[in-house]
Amino acid sequence: MSRKMTALVIGNSSYPGHGLKNATNDSEDISKKLSEFGFSVIHLSNAKKRDIDDAVKSFRDNLNSNDIGLFYFAGHGMQIEGENYITAVDTEFETEMDAKYSSYPLNKVIDLMERSNNKTNIVILDACRNNPYERAWHRAPSQRGLAPVFAPKGTIIAFATSPGEVAGDGAGRNGCYTEALLKHISLPDIPIEEMFKRVRNSLSVSTKNRQTSWEHTSLSGDFFFYISLVNAVGKYTKEAISDGLFHIKTDLELHRVILDLKSHHWYTQNPAVRNLKSEDISSSDKNSVFVLGRNLYQAACGSANGASDFISEFRDRTQGVDDKLRRAVLEGMLFEIFFNSKGELRENFKTSKFNEVFEYQQYSEFDESFKFISDILANYPNRFHIIPGKDRSVSVDVETNENDEGELKVIGVHLGGINILREDEDYGFYVDDGEVPYEAFRKAALERRISEDMLIPNSKLTINFDFYADKKSKILFPYGHTVAK
């Protein structure tokens, strides 16, 4: 199941004379979380009114090409003459009139979301903070915070506190409301209305009943921030998706093969795979066969030659096997590249046999298997340049310069005109004198490295060098760098 989702997230803290401690932290943490869910996020910190206006225009354009739209604001909000406004860091607060015309009207955001072509809209406002600027305006207590807002069809609007009340900025990294929101937003398979009820309960406890969050909703369908992989996949059981839970039945031949593959010892793994027969697969169920595929791939990545040979000979080794079971083996291999034994997306993908498995993308008989993996990975678009499994060819341009020894050093790898070469933050190497060391590659090895980093198979990737490169060319690549997303 693939969802196209866009978000505009704003956090303003640096108000003149009366800054907020946590609003920018709130927006940073919400942006990160939404990105993990697959939202394409526009994020602003300490935005001026012009910045907000420009970002809202970009957000408006994004809404029409997405299914889900979300607007989040943390900072000072206020109601003037019954209308709600979110404030910029350059809002003028001397009078109500100054503030009104130098702030951004919330209704403008809600209206453009309502008029867009998407199906579901979410507005989250941690903007009911105690606003010291309002004290000079001699306002009644009922005018504090934000006014109630009508939610158009297909929209839910969530407030950090009830109408006319104010919210706490929090004692830790986050405001009280966003802290509670972050606790619950990642819980799997919870409808958004239920999620906000849990936020309200946690918020009530943490503020000793001083703050009660509030929502207005006109949603006509269910929305889940985090859909568990079991529900996203649907095709295989929880025990197959989280194969650390898979129960091995030693009276079954295929299960004994899986157990041997899990041994991590070549002298056990290799004979088990070499003795594996198509009849063993045909006589099993799709969940067991899916787990077999996962363990074949992990054994091959551990340099078990028998498993590597099986992957290379997969089409021949599975001739005569029912098509559904055959695809289940391949889908297990594909799944293992991207997901760990808990069924969680890997921090570092398992790519050493990536090209060998994706070689089967060229055969139409396996189209369904590559659609299976691309549909799952479409829920994590921010982790990939191109969703793996999509039948799409990509071209990149490698930029080099020549060092004093006449050797060619890679200084850029350009995709769509953008240099995607970057330091790998997870690599953790230290450069003593500021000079990045380089490692040497032959052309084919560098092409494979780029393919695996980008998770685009060699067969779908064209690499253009800015010099004539033959198979003997030695090319220097910066140590501790990557072209991964």
pLDDT-derived band at 12 (thresholds 50, 70, 90) equals very high
Contact between 44 and 51 (Cβ < 8 Å): yes
The pLDDT of residue 431 is 54
pLDDT-derived band at 285 (thresholds 50, 70, 90) equals very high
280 lies in some domain: yes
Has residue 162 got a pLDDT over 90? no
Q: Which residue has the higher pLDDT, 169 or 119?
A: 119
- What's the number of domains the chain is made of? 3
Boundary-marking domain end, from 205, 227, 249: 227
* Short-list 345, 336, 349, 429, CA closest to 379: 345
Has residue 291 got a pLDDT over 50? yes
Boundary-marking domain end, from 192, 210, 227: 227
Span of 131-145, 265-279, 293-307 with lowest mean pLDDT: 131-145
The pLDDT of residue 254 is 96
CA 319 to chain centre: 37
Q: What is the mean pLDDT of residues 240-269?
A: 94
For residues 236 and 281, membership in a common domain is answered with yes
Has residue 142 got a pLDDT over 50? no
Q: Which residue has the higher pLDDT, 117 or 56?
A: 56
Q: How far is it, in rounded angstroms, from Cα 270 to Cα 61?
A: 55
The pLDDT of residue 441 is 95
429 lies in some domain: yes
Contact between 113 and 156 (Cβ < 8 Å): no
Alpha-helical regions (H) of 103-190? 106-115, 176-184
Token pair in block for residue 413: 């790898």
For residues 34 and 182, membership in a common domain is answered with yes
What's the mean per-residue pLDDT of the chain?
90
* Short-list 63, 77, 170, CA closest to 112: 63
pLDDT tens-digit map of 247-257: 999 999 999 99
For residues 399 and 358, membership in a common domain is answered with no
pLDDT-derived band at 95 (thresholds 50, 70, 90) equals confident
Strands (E), 346-407: 394-402
Using a cut of 0.85, tell me whether the model's pTM lies above it. no
The pLDDT of residue 217 is 93
Q: Which residues contact 184 (CB under 8 A, 6 or more apart)?
A: 190, 195, 198, 199, 202
179 lies in some domain: yes
Has residue 119 got a pLDDT over 80? yes
The pLDDT of residue 265 is 93
Q: How far is it, in rounded angstroms, from Cα 29 to Cα 46?
A: 15
pLDDT-derived band at 160 (thresholds 50, 70, 90) equals very high
Q: pLDDT over 90 for what percent of the chain?
A: 69
pLDDT tens-digit map of 429-473: 555 556 778 999 999 999 999 999 999 999 999 999 998 888 888
For residues 429 and 472, membership in a common domain is answered with yes
pLDDT tens-digit map of 273-284: 999 999 999 999
Q: What CATH number is given to the structural domain containing 80?
A: 3.40.50.1460
* Short-list 353, 339, 240, CA closest to 307: 353
pLDDT tens-digit map of 302-350: 999 999 999 999 999 999 999 999 999 999 999 999 999 998 899 999 9
Rg over alpha carbons for the chain, rounded to the nearest Å, is: 27
For residues 439 and 358, membership in a common domain is answered with no
Boundary-marking domain end, from 227, 260, 288: 227
Token pair in block for residue 36: 């993990």
For residues 54 and 163, membership in a common domain is answered with yes
For residues 338 and 415, membership in a common domain is answered with no
Has residue 211 got a pLDDT over 50? yes
Has residue 184 got a pLDDT over 80? yes
Q: What is the mean pLDDT of residues 63-90?
A: 91
For residues 283 and 346, membership in a common domain is answered with yes
pLDDT-derived band at 140 (thresholds 50, 70, 90) equals very low
pLDDT-derived band at 24 (thresholds 50, 70, 90) equals very high
150 lies in some domain: yes
What is the CB neighbour count within 10 angstroms for residue 468?
A: 6
For residues 145 and 170, membership in a common domain is answered with yes
Q: pLDDT over 70 for what percent of the chain?
A: 93
389 lies in some domain: no
The pLDDT of residue 129 is 63
For residues 473 and 326, membership in a common domain is answered with no
The pLDDT of residue 382 is 82
388 lies in some domain: no
For residues 78 and 222, membership in a common domain is answered with yes
The pLDDT of residue 230 is 74
Has residue 135 got a pLDDT over 60? no
**Which sign, positive or negative, has the C-alpha torsion 277, 279, 283, 287?**
positive
pLDDT-derived band at 227 (thresholds 50, 70, 90) equals confident
For residues 55 and 146, membership in a common domain is answered with yes
Could you tell me the residue range of the domain that residue 122 belongs to? 5-227
453 lies in some domain: yes
* Short-list 52, 116, 64, CA closest to 88: 52
pLDDT-derived band at 199 (thresholds 50, 70, 90) equals very high
Has residue 124 got a pLDDT over 70? yes
pLDDT-derived band at 167 (thresholds 50, 70, 90) equals confident
427 lies in some domain: yes
